Structure 1
């Protein structure tokens, strides 16, 4: 970092980040303003921002969101989410903590099978309706679900976009993730439920009258368009199958989501304008600005410098290096989105693995994955799912502030990363010795 552009890019990112976390201006304005300044100082250009996989906007993430938002928008018109809301409250007997625990568990498992962004898009509308029925604040439930989605997404190759990047670079398979990370993700989900009982204890007020009113409802009566529901569920099933079969079909989830959205709009009677109105355009604009800013940091060498410093500190010490990789990745992924971070760090990790004589399943790859995935919980912009839920909450007039999310995210990140460090030490150094 010897040239002025590197320092200028770092200053632009830092100023935009301060505006986002202080909420002095809207986060979309801060991100787009920061992106504009990155162009102005020459830290990036149109080719780097719009066409580069390494330094540009991640169009796979953007179009995955567009496709799934369209599908969710159609399903909302059927009454499906009202049905699921009433069903879940009745199964939990109207007890708020039971509702949260059930939603957290469902979110974690679903995130492992799909991806965390798709999961929160499906679960968040149900959560908003549940909280409305029980007169509960929605923010704690939404925050808990986001944290669960990032933990559950750690479990499999398709659960979180950084996992796909790591798998491609390291030659890892779907089964490798199942063997190495799924058991830990299951334990961390149980730990999260226990933490939620403590962190959100003030919101678990049981309203017997409201609970009784929901218990008396027949959830089947909430479905008011059976044909559209059948069409929507059929398309959603095809899309989810496409996600799960990604290792076999090699079709990007974004393409699967867009094809599903187009098919559903084509075969159903919904109006295109009404469906497009359900898309969270401000969230997509925020992502675009954030990707451009991070791309500026990558293009000017700021992120690479940080990665090389981490690699230099690791050296040949596998245990210390793995723990440093885990902790360093968690910290950096909480500041910059974990997708561009892993894309930048993957080749550095490959060099480290090669220098220590390791193979495809080397502990360093799992440390990078755990740090990036779990570190995404640290702040409100650490992972894609976080940003999506903040946008949904704002649209439904239950805004979640940066620090409101982050004060819980930091606690969960510290606990889960600490347990992951213990897991790495025991599994790959103590038991493997």
Structure 2
């Protein structure tokens, strides 16, 4: 009974989120309230369990980085980068989109993709404002690029950290095995952009001339604060990269960095808290609780187990099935709890496959499927939710279906490109 209720609540909430009949934060919190009120999940499950509760690491990572970005915004550095990017692209909207997407993809490999989105979105909004073009296609393109680029490394996407821990894979393992396919995917994605966002690249030549005449150095308003903010941000990013050495969670690093920057900058609470996307954080809380109810009642585990059992011991079939199922399910539920549930089953499968190359391919298919699948819908990955929150606050909201129409196309194409890569690398040339 509890399983049916958990599924029903999730489906109804998801319909409201997708159709936007009511605000997505209200839908997520209402769904969370129902599963808590009915006892499907208790307070221990929702607030204290790593498997079924709110992922506080994600929430506090976002909070810390939002505060840092909010203070950094006061320096004028985003205006500087926006003008620089527009001038390097000669004012061409398509070249601007490709340039910012490439920057986002590369940055997402070495930061987590949520942090990258928080940093790149303000730049994008300013570029589009200068050129007087709609920012929505650019924001969508960047978050899609962030999920692709974040696949390349251990720290680029949260599911990779879970996989690395479960499989005993380190930063270099991810870089060697996934960076090549990510590089291929980014090229394919860049070639796809003109068709995917056809009609979004018209610009007034007068606005281009105005942008080309700007001096980006004049955008820096507070050089001293920029130095302080830059030093703190670099220290935070270094700690992210050195996570496996210093063993401090990124969420703790982000909060410490935010605290230090607040002290160094002397910023008032009203100022640094103004940049926090509170609705986004609450939406995550509600979504985590609803998904936790699906985990607790065994729904996600059952789906994953059925997919694993269907392979019949065939390694190649297992790789392709995990790739496809992971891409599909990660598009509709957050890929973090999905990977947390699926990884023990993948580990069990690897024990039954004698060839090391074939068994390792299972992990890479899980990572690729979950990370690329996060692009399918507006709630498939944390970065998507954050970008939609930023867009809404900027006065240019992105609807669920507007994102999903583009994201689904990119997911299908990137997964289709990844399938032969997995086959050739781990089965033909292994």
TM range (shorter): over 0.9
Distance 1:358 1:365, change over 3 A: farther
Partner of 2:374 in structure 1? Answer: 376
Alignment of 1:155 with 2:152, yes or no, is yes
Alignment of 1:229 with 2:247, yes or no, is no
1:291 Cα deviation from its structure 2 partner: 0.2
When structure 1 is superposed on structure 2, of 221-230 and 286-295 the one drifting more is 221-230
**Deviations 1:131-167 (CA, angstroms, capped at 9, x unpaired):** 0000111100000000000000000000000000000
Runs (4+) of structure 1 exceeding 6 A deviation are none
Write the distance in 1 (CA, Å) between the matches of 2:162 and 2:307.
19
**Deviations 1:81-105 (CA, angstroms, capped at 9, x unpaired):** 1111111101111000110000010
Provide the secondary structure at the position in 2 that maps to 1:370.
Answer: helix
Q: Is the 1:43–1:297 Cα contact (8 Å) retained in structure 2?
A: no
CA RMSD, 1 decimal: 1.0
Write the distance in 2 (CA, Å) between the matches of 1:348 and 1:395.
40
Distance 1:41 1:359, change over 3 A: farther
Q: Is the 1:97–1:204 Cα contact (8 Å) retained in structure 2?
A: yes
Give the TM-score of the pair, scaled to structure 2: 0.98
* Among 396, 402, 405, the residue aligned to 1:404: 402
Partner of 2:238 in structure 1? Answer: 241
Alignment of 1:300 with 2:293, yes or no, is no
Write the distance in 1 (CA, Å) between the matches of 2:360 and 2:196.
35
Provide the secondary structure at the position in 2 that maps to 1:203.
Answer: coil
Partner of 1:172 in structure 2? Answer: 169
* Among 197, 204, 209, the residue aligned to 2:201: 204
Q: Is the 1:113–1:159 Cα contact (8 Å) retained in structure 2?
A: yes
Alignment of 1:85 with 2:103, yes or no, is no
Partner of 2:71 in structure 1? Answer: 74
Partner of 1:31 in structure 2? Answer: 28
Q: Is the 2:132–2:203 Cα contact (8 Å) retained in structure 1?
A: no
**Deviations 1:160-196 (CA, angstroms, capped at 9, x unpaired):** 0000000000000111011100011011011111111
Write the distance in 1 (CA, Å) between the matches of 2:203 and 2:384.
28
Write the distance in 1 (CA, Å) between the matches of 2:428 and 2:352.
22
* Among 184, 187, 190, the residue aligned to 1:190: 187
1:41 Cα deviation from its structure 2 partner: 2.2
Q: Is the 2:153–2:175 Cα contact (8 Å) retained in structure 1?
A: yes
Partner of 1:420 in structure 2? Answer: 418
Partner of 2:386 in structure 1? Answer: 388
Gaps of 5+ in 1: none
When structure 1 is superposed on structure 2, of 184-193 and 374-383 the one drifting more is 184-193
Give the TM-score of the pair, scaled to structure 1: 0.98
Count of residues in correspondence between the two structures: 429
Write the distance in 1 (CA, Å) between the matches of 2:288 and 2:84.
39
Partner of 2:328 in structure 1? Answer: 331
Write the distance in 2 (CA, Å) between the matches of 1:272 and 1:224.
21
Partner of 1:140 in structure 2? Answer: 137
Write the distance in 1 (CA, Å) between the matches of 2:411 and 2:224.
43
Q: Is the 2:6–2:297 Cα contact (8 Å) retained in structure 1?
A: yes
Partner of 1:265 in structure 2? Answer: 262
Write the distance in 1 (CA, Å) between the matches of 2:61 and 2:248.
12
1:201 Cα deviation from its structure 2 partner: 2.0
Alignment of 1:120 with 2:117, yes or no, is yes
Write the distance in 2 (CA, Å) between the matches of 1:49 and 1:286.
14
Write the distance in 1 (CA, Å) between the matches of 2:355 and 2:61.
34
1:307 Cα deviation from its structure 2 partner: 1.1
Write the distance in 1 (CA, Å) between the matches of 2:290 and 2:312.
30
Q: Is the 1:8–1:41 Cα contact (8 Å) retained in structure 2?
A: no
* Among 8, 12, 16, the residue aligned to 1:15: 12
Provide the secondary structure at the position in 2 that maps to 1:154.
Answer: helix
1:358 Cα deviation from its structure 2 partner: 5.4
